[in-house]
């Protein structure tokens, strides 16, 4: 089936396109700027067309030969988003009908009761749904509430509010019921909707296995994330307008997006029917014998959060940030996601040229720790080790097993060797007592000039407010510790070149 994915540079579209490819479909991605897809790993497997949904003439070529259109765009965050989304839907409806498209699939929002005054966000979503359903092209509208997945604006609001505020005074809408759904279940419904019979032209409510209040979602998120129980005190004072500004202050979600999303939370978002699950086959998973067995139709809230946070190993989480922390990483956004998505991540990065070949630099990197020390401010490392032991940690007393060689999984002072690429990469995971997770990564890379380049990166994923305060407290020392470390490691590599030839690199 030939599918057009609009919004391929967005949160859902960027995850749907590779899933469609896996399902055997031919995929064309529409974007106003093809360059925004240059970093996605599947770009060479799709056709990319540049078009603007507000320019009807540009849609003719984009829809040529297309059978199914995924309408996954919105202008949320812009002042005139209702007008822009109305025009985009109208243009797509007319162009799809003229091109002979077999089906349109639209991911919208929950539909509030008729007796309520809907927020601008939900009002716009409902209007777009009506336009597409009246297009003359069979259309499926999926009405989704809060989507649980790293990179989703709604999930990022929940994540940051819960992690950064151990106690909070909340508006009364935190008592409204919501039926959150995992992003992988949304993707499954989107893919399955393409195979519905041509007479199906309607909207469907979709939701996860649990119906919770927003306050319950924050408490359960805290439990899954390993945070202390959150204290939540509802009040009638905070209006949606004030709440949105508070969300904008506490979380990295831009105010222009937070305001309409918070305004939508004044409405309950619970599925009123479950018709789509009866029309689509449920998910399956392979058994040891190679057969497929049915799994629950949709995920519960806790499991959805575990997947979003990367706490379920070997799960099919396409957002995993493996370049920083290996298999124990949190699920991070795709290259096409907004910069503010994916949770808090603190980095200290250093890069220095080295007038010595990579093998000399690598020998210094692999020999770090133990009796050789950490090449910067020994007193600071010693004090931090004593403090760690006082807190019940391992401190620096473990040393290292071998003076020259390291192996994956062995202890190195208060670190654990997580990954080694002999001659090029050493990644250490901290086992000291810190309110979060920390890694130290060191790389030796060849330089076109004949020498090498030393790259050093310290990574910290904070847990709760204490984690953010911890990073702020140690930040003033980074210039001394990490800058000195990079400077002294490179100097030692250059000095080793003058003292003796490099030893062959061992095979890990």
Asked if residue 391 and residue 252 are part of one domain, the reply reads no
- pLDDT by residue for the chain (508 residues), tens only, comes to 999 999 988 889 999 999 999 999 999 999 988 888 887 889 899 999 999 999 999 999 999 999 999 999 887 767 788 999 999 999 999 999 999 999 999 999 888 777 667 778 888 999 999 999 999 999 999 999 899 988 788 888 888 888 888 888 777 778 889 999 999 999 999 999 999 999 999 999 999 999 999 999 999 999 998 888 888 887 776 566 666 666 666 776 766 777 777 777 777 889 888 889 888 866 545 544 544 443 457 899 999 999 988 765 434 434 333 333 333 333 445 555 555 555 567 888 999 999 999 999 999 999 988 888 888 866 666 676 666 666 666 666 677 788 888 999 898 888 889 899 999 999 999 888 878 888 999 999 999 888 999 999 998 888 777 888 888 888 888 778 888 999 999 999 998 887 765 555 555 4
Does 355 reside within a domain?
yes
For position 272, which CATH number holds? Answer: 3.40.50.720
Asked if residue 322 and residue 211 are part of one domain, the reply reads yes
Does 508 reside within a domain?
no
For position 473, which CATH number holds? Answer: 3.30.530.20
Instruction: State which of 270, 300, 328 marks the end of a domain.
Output: 328
Classify burial at 151, counting beta carbons within 10 Å of its beta carbon; exposed 0-12, middle 13-18, buried 19 or more. buried
Asked if residue 301 and residue 182 are part of one domain, the reply reads yes
Does 507 reside within a domain?
no
Instruction: State which of 295, 328, 361 marks the end of a domain.
Output: 328
Asked if residue 368 and residue 320 are part of one domain, the reply reads no
| Number of domains the chain contains | 2
Asked if residue 147 and residue 89 are part of one domain, the reply reads yes
Asked if residue 112 and residue 8 are part of one domain, the reply reads yes
Distance CA 418, CA 459 (A): 14
Asked if residue 476 and residue 366 are part of one domain, the reply reads yes
Asked if residue 350 and residue 302 are part of one domain, the reply reads no
Does 339 reside within a domain?
no
Asked if residue 65 and residue 202 are part of one domain, the reply reads yes
Instruction: State which of 293, 328, 363 marks the end of a domain.
Output: 328
CA dihedral 245, 473, 365, 500 (to 10 degrees): 130
Asked if residue 366 and residue 309 are part of one domain, the reply reads no
Classify burial at 116, counting beta carbons within 10 Å of its beta carbon; exposed 0-12, middle 13-18, buried 19 or more. exposed
Asked if residue 156 and residue 102 are part of one domain, the reply reads yes
Distance CA 316, CA 187 (A): 13
Q: Are 142 and 190 in contact (CB under 8 A)?
A: yes
Has this prediction a pTM greater than 0.75? Answer: no
Does 333 reside within a domain?
no
Does 12 reside within a domain?
yes
Domain housing 197? 2-328
């Amino acid at each position: 089936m030939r599918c057009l994915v609009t919004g391929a540079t967005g949160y859902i579209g960027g995850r749907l396109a590779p899933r469609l490819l896996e399902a055997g479909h031919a995929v064309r991605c529409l974007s106003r700027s093809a360059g925004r897809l240059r970093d996605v790993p599947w770009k060479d497997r799709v056709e990319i067309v540049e078009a603007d949904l507000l320019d009807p003439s540009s849609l003719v070529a984009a829809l040529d030969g297309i059978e199914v259109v995924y309408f996954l765009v919105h202008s949320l965050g812009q002042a005139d988003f209702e007008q822009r989304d109305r025009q985009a839907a109208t243009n797509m409806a007319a162009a799809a009908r003229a091109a002979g498209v077999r089906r349109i699939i639209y991911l919208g929002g929950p539909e509030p009761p008729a007796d309520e005054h809907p927020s601008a966000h939900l009002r716009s979503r409902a209007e777009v749904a009506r336009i597409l359903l009246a297009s003359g092209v069979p259309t499926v509208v999926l009405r989704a509430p809060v989507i649980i997945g790293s990179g989703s604006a709604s999930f990022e609001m929940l994540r940051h509010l819960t992690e950064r505020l151990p106690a909070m005074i909340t508006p009364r809408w935190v008592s409204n019921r919501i039926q959150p759904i995992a992003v992988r279940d949304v993707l499954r419904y989107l893919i399955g909707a393409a195979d519905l019979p041509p007479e199906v032209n309607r909207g469907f409510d979709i939701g996860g296995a649990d119906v919770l209040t927003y306050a319950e979602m924050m408490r359960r998120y805290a439990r899954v994330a390993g945070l202390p129980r959150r204290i939540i005190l509802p009040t009638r004072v905070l209006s949606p307008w004030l709440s949105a500004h508070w969300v904008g202050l506490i979380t990295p979600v831009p105010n222009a997006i937070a305001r309409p999303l918070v305004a939508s939370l004044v409405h309950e978002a619970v599925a009123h029917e479950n018709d789509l699950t009866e029309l689509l086959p449920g998910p399956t998973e392979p058994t040891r014998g190679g057969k497929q067995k049915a799994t629950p139709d949709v995920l519960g809230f806790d499991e959805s959060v575990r997947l979003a946070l990367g706490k379920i190993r070997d799960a099919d989480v396409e957002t995993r940030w493996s370049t920083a922390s290996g298999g124990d990483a949190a699920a991070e956004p795709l290259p096409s996601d907004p910069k503010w998505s994916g949770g808090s991540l603190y980095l200290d990065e250093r890069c220095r040229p080295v007038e010595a070949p990579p093998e000399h630099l690598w020998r210094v990197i692999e020999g770090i720790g133990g009796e050789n020390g950490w090449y910067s401010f020994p007193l600071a490392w010693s004090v931090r080790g004593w403090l760690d032991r006082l807190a019940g940690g391992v401190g620096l007393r473990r040393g290292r097993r071998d003076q020259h060689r390291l192996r994956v999984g062995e202890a190195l002072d208060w670190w654990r060797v997580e990954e080694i690429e002999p001659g090029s990469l050493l990644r250490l995971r901290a086992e000291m007592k810190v309110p979060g997770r920390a890694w130290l990564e060191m790389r030796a890379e060849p330089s076109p000039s004949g020498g090498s380049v030393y790259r050093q990166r310290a990574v910290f994923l904070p847990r709760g407010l204490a984690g953010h305060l911890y990073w702020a407290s140690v930040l003033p020392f980074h210039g001394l510790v990490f800058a000195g470390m990079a400077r002294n490691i490179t100097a030692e590599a250059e000095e080793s070149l003058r003292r003796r030839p490099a030893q062959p690199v061992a095979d890990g």
